[in-house]
Amino acid sequence: MKVGDYVGRIKNDWQKYNRWMKFEEDPPEPLGIIVATGLSYVTKTWRVLQLDGTLVDINESCLEVIQPAEL
C-alpha cells in the first residue's frame, strides 16, 4: 500500500486478520484514495480521501488495494 492507491474497506472480519483469504462474494467496499500516512503511533494507518470528500485515518488491516497508483 502506498500514497495514491485506490482502496476499499474490507467487510469480512476473517480477511482483516488473515490477508491470504479472499472472498469473491464479499468484495471490499470502495472507499477512496490514500493521500498520506496516518497519525497513529501504535498501528499502521493511512489517511484516506473518501468519495464524499472527507479525510479519515483508517487502520491498514481494514483496507485492501482496489487499483494501485501508477507513477
Residue 57 lies inside a defined structural domain of this protein: yes
Residue 35 lies inside a defined structural domain of this protein: yes
Residue 41 lies inside a defined structural domain of this protein: yes
Contact of 31 with 46, CB cutoff 8 Å: no
- Report how far Cα 59 is from the mean position of its chain's Cα atoms: 8
Residue 26 lies inside a defined structural domain of this protein: yes
Query: What's the pTM?
Result: 0.83
Residue 1 lies inside a defined structural domain of this protein: no
Mean pLDDT of the chain: 87
The CB-side HSE value for 15 (13 A sphere, CA atoms) comes to 16
Domain of residue 14, residue span: 6-67
State the amino acid at position 28 in one-letter form: P
The predicted structure's pLDDT at residue 47 = 95
Residue 67, pLDDT > 80, answer yes
Confidence of residue 40 (pLDDT cuts 50, 70, 90): confident
Look at the alpha carbons of 8, 14, 20, 21 in this order and tell me if their dihedral is positive or negative: negative
